[in-house]
């Protein structure tokens, strides 16, 4: 018996190289398991969907507070976007010679997610943002996501970042889709690769005035866009050039600038980041989008709402004198919503306008906000609901 047990014991003693192989296998397995666990932890769990982020929701401004997740999708030389994915918000890696950094090859969009009292999230006409990005991308010689790809990405971002959507009436989740030439390029040419990114931030009112009246200044030295340029698309190159004039106006106590046309400098174009409407009686006029003015989604929606309410809505060349003799003036945009203008200063003349609860601006704003937040029934098919 002793001999038998001894023989068995000896048979179980493995050579050293076998032990090493076994340990290496276990080590490799443990490393793979740990790596898989780390990757799983990076993925959105949505377990906090019904909770709110730790924010002072009563004092939201329009600053960047990055939500948890961003969406990234790549496009290679063949012009086809691969399937995108969510990842934690963070820095991205770009070559110093990326097309967007050297030649400004990029366009962006802006849309918002609102929270209803029942917790559902609402998006306002995201398909229109998708179409506008496609138009802008074509102008900047870039491939672009399909409408379905764009809308799906926006929906994923809203859902993954639900805890960052403010409570009803406290603000919204601003969603920023960005398309850029991310591939390296030295000579002036389209980038060899493109990246589509969507990120989000909870926001309140765009202007520091909140919902108070804006005071605008008519800019005569600088122009925003010229015929034949890219003023009619949401190119990233349209915005940095307005900063100098905007800073000067704000240092003088104005909220924003009204730009005039580049040729005669007598016709209204738009403000730094929003469209403009002029009210006289029952007629609402807005500068025609003839290549130098961005076709705003909010602008388009307000025009339809105004027509539904019996106003005569006119797209035309609006002379600055007409602005100075108007009953009301207001601005529209995704970021600003519908904002009343209290005064406009042109040369040495300052004019005040009608504002308040009975104003045309407020009536149109009430309908638009009601549709966006779900308190007014959507009969136009503008709202995308995320359960």
Percent of all residues in the chain with a pLDDT value above 90, rounded to a whole number = 81
Where helices occur in the chain by DSSP H, the ranges are: 2-12, 16-42, 99-103, 126-139, 147-160, 243-251, 297-308, 320-324, 360-373
Residue 6 pLDDT level (bands cut at 50, 70, 90): very low
In a domain, 349, yes or no: yes
* Average pLDDT over every residue of 340-353: 96
In a domain, 348, yes or no: yes
Query: In this structure, are residues 82 and 74 in contact, taking their beta carbons and an 8 Å threshold?
Result: yes
Residues 148 and 196 grouped into a single domain: yes
Long-range contacts of 369-374 (CB under 8 A, 24+ apart): 369/337, 369/338, 371/124, 372/112, 372/114, 372/122, 372/124, 373/114, 373/116, 373/122, 373/168, 373/169, 374/114, 374/116, 374/120, 374/122
**pLDDT of 333:** 95
Residues 142 and 266 grouped into a single domain: no
In a domain, 387, yes or no: no
- Residue range(s) defining the domain that contains residue 92: 69-204
Instruction: Decide which of 204, 235, 251 is a domain's last residue.
Output: 204
Domain of 87: which CATH number?
Answer: 3.30.470.10
Domain of 254: which CATH number?
Answer: 3.20.10.10
Residues 191 and 250 grouped into a single domain: no
Rg of the chain's alpha carbons, rounded to an integer? Answer: 27
- 252-288 pLDDT, tens per residue? 999 999 999 999 999 999 999 899 999 999 999 999 9
Selected catalytic residue, list 3, 234, 349, 363: 234
pLDDT above 90 for 304: yes
**pLDDT of 67:** 97
How many structural domains compose the chain?
A: 2
- 87-103 pLDDT, tens per residue? 999 999 999 999 999 99
Residue 44 pLDDT level (bands cut at 50, 70, 90): low
- The pTM for the full model equals 0.86
Instruction: Decide which of 183, 204, 225 is a domain's last residue.
Output: 204
Tokens of 151: 């809308």
Is 170 among the catalytic positions? no
Across the chain, mean pLDDT equals 88
Residue 314 pLDDT level (bands cut at 50, 70, 90): very high
Residues 199 and 219 grouped into a single domain: no
In a domain, 228, yes or no: yes
What string of DSSP letters covers 11-52? Answer: HH---HHHHHHHHHHHHHHHHHHHHHHHHHHHS---TTTTS-
* Average pLDDT over every residue of 311-340: 96
Instruction: Decide which of 158, 175, 204 is a domain's last residue.
Output: 204
Residues 200 and 247 grouped into a single domain: no
Tokens of 128: 């229109």
**pLDDT of 47:** 44
Local structure of residue 143 (DSSP, 8 states)? -
In a domain, 42, yes or no: no
Residues 156 and 138 grouped into a single domain: yes
| Separation between Cα atoms, residue 157 and residue 84, nearest integer Å | 12
């Amino acid at each position: 018996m002793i001999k038998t047990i001894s023989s068995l014991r000896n048979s179980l003693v493995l050579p050293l190289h076998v032990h090493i192989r076994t340990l290496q296998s276990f080590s490799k397995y443990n490393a793979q398991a740990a790596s898989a666990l780390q990757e799983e932890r990076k993925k959105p769990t949505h377990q906090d969907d019904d909770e709110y982020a730790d924010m002072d929701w009563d004092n939201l401004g329009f600053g960047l507070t990055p939500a948890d997740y961003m969406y990234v999708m790549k496009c290679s030389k063949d012009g086809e976007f691969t399937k995108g994915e969510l990842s934690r918000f963070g820095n991205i890696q770009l070559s110093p010679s990326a097309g967007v950094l050297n030649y400004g090859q990029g366009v962006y969009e802006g849309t918002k997610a609102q929270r209803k009292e029942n917790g559902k999230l609402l998006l306002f006409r995201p398909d229109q943002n998708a179409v506008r990005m496609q138009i802008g991308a074509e102008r900047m010689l870039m491939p672009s996501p399909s409408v379905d790809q764009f809308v799906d990405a926006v929906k994923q971002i809203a859902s993954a970042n639900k805890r960052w959507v403010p409570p009803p009436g406290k603000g919204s989740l601003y969603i920023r889709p960005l398309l850029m030439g991310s591939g390296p390029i030295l000579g002036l040419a389209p980038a060899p690769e493109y990246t589509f990114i969507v990120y989000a931030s909870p926001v309140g009112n765009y202007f520091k005035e909140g919902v108070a009246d804006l005071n605008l200044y008519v800019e005569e030295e600088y122009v925003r866009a010229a015929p034949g340029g890219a003023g009619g698309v949401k190119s990233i190159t349209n915005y940095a050039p307005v900063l100098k004039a905007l800073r000067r106006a704000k240092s003088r106590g104005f909220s924003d600038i009204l730009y005039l046309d580049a040729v005669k400098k007598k016709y209204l174009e738009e403000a730094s980041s929003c469209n403009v409407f002029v009210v006289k009686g029952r007629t609402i006029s807005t500068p025609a989008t003839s290549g130098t003015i961005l076709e705003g989604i909010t602008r388009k929606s307000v025009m339809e709402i105004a027509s539904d309410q019996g106003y005569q809505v006119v797209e035309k060349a609006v002379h600055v004198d007409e602005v100075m003799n108007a009953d009301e003036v207001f601005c529209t945009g995704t970021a600003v919503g519908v904002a009343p203008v209290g005064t406009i200063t042109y040369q040495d003349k300052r004019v005040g306008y009608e504002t308040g609860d009975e104003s045309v601006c407020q009536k149109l704003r009430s309908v638009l906000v009601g549709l966006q937040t779900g308190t007014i029934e959507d009969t136009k098919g503008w709202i995308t609901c995320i359960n």
